[in-house]
Amino acid sequence: MRLLAIGDINGESGREFVYNNLSRILSRYKIDFCVANAENSAEPNGITHNIANTLIQSGVDVITMGNHTYDNKESASVLEDNSRVIRPLNFPPEAEGMGYTICDLGNIRVAVINASGRINMTPVDCPFSAVERLLPKLEADVIVIDFHAEATSEKIAFANFLDGKVSAVFGTHTHVQTADERILPNGTGFICDLGMTGVEDSVLGVKKEIIIEHMRMPVKRVRFEKAQGEAWFHACIFDIDEKSHKTTTVERLRFNRL
């Protein structure tokens, strides 16, 4: 099974790139299953019904979120209405939505889990314990995890904690793609961060001038605006063996046109 995992889809430029190109990407790379992080897809962040539906129509099978999940007023109802849109498992139990979903592809059941880190992130429950408690209950063949976290140390520790227990762990949140894609000793495919699908000529997707001003004058409040312009596609492909459920190859993608 070939899994495509797409880094944080950011704003209009990132969304449009996915809407216009995903079907060709899926066929070019012979993808069977696609997971995309869309916590920044709406304005100012979060997700809307229209965006979720259009991403799914474009070929995304499961949408994951992160610390910006509820930044749009529609997000909570998107999570309640659509089991293919998930938020971190280790959010407070009262938070709307689910932390995992299972998709039946006919010959194979794929579970996608979303979890959040705790280092330099909004305080949440322990992601290690939350996933450890969930795994025995999951009726799935292949399990993959979007670990939405800031610190590379936490991501590497989390992936090694799950090595051999899940097929792949891919990081999101930093919007900067890391060049450490690999297969851990017990067969779990891993990358610290998939990156961002959005405008690279920006500061993590926000207009450069605004962030520079914010860094120079942090005592003043500023309104973040997403950058406009050419979008780049950041993602990773995991080839997962359907018998052993181990990852056999990991390929990192970063391009701005097909």
SS (H, E, C) the chain: CEEEEECEECHHHHHHHHHHHHHHHHHHCCCCEEEEECCCCCCCCCCCHHHHHHHHHHCCCEEECCCCHHHCCCHHHHHHHCCCEECCCCCCCCCCCCCEEEEECCCCEEEEEEEECCCCCCCCCCHHHHHHHHHHHCCCCEEEEEEECCCHHHHHHHHHHCECCECEEEEECCCCCCCCCEECCCCCEEECCCCEEEECCCECCECHHHHHHHHHCCCCCCCCCECCCCEEEEEEEEEECCCCCCEEEEEEEEECCC
The residue within the footprint of Fe ion, chosen from 15, 87, 173, 207 (CB under 5 A), is 173
| φ, ψ dihedrals at 10, nearest 5° | -115, 115
**Residues touching Fe ion, count (CB under 5 A):** 6
How many angstroms separate the Cα of 173 from the Cα of each of 104, 114, 139, 201? Answer: 27, 12, 28, 17
Residue 8 binding Fe ion, by CB under 5 A: yes
Smallest gap from residue 69 Cβ to Fe ion (A): 9
> Is 173 known to be catalytic?
no
Residue 202 binding Fe ion, by CB under 5 A: no
Contact 3, 217 (CB under 8 A): no
**Six token digits for residue 170:** 């891919």
Whichever of 52 and 183 has its CB closer to Fe ion, that residue is 52
Smallest gap from residue 153 Cβ to Fe ion (A): 17
Which of the ranges 38-46, 70-78, 118-126, 225-233 carries the binding residues for Fe ion, by CB under 5 A? 38-46
Whichever of 141 and 200 has its CB closer to Fe ion, that residue is 200
**Six token digits for residue 233:** 């596609």
Whichever of 149 and 240 has its CB closer to Fe ion, that residue is 149
Smallest gap from residue 203 Cβ to Fe ion (A): 13
Smallest gap from residue 40 Cβ to Fe ion (A): 4
The residue within the footprint of Fe ion, chosen from 6, 13, 38, 40 (CB under 5 A), is 40
Which of the ranges 4-12, 17-25, 107-115, 232-240 carries the binding residues for Fe ion, by CB under 5 A? 4-12
Whichever of 66 and 97 has its CB closer to Fe ion, that residue is 66
Of 41-100, binders to Fe ion (CB under 5 A) are 66-67
Catalytic residue among 68, 148, 175, 245: 68
Residue 150 binding Fe ion, by CB under 5 A: no
Smallest gap from residue 205 Cβ to Fe ion (A): 7
Which of the ranges 72-80, 106-114, 170-178, 229-237 carries the binding residues for Fe ion, by CB under 5 A? 170-178
Residues interacting with Fe ion, by CB under 5 A? Answer: 8, 39-40, 66-67, 173
Active site residues: 68
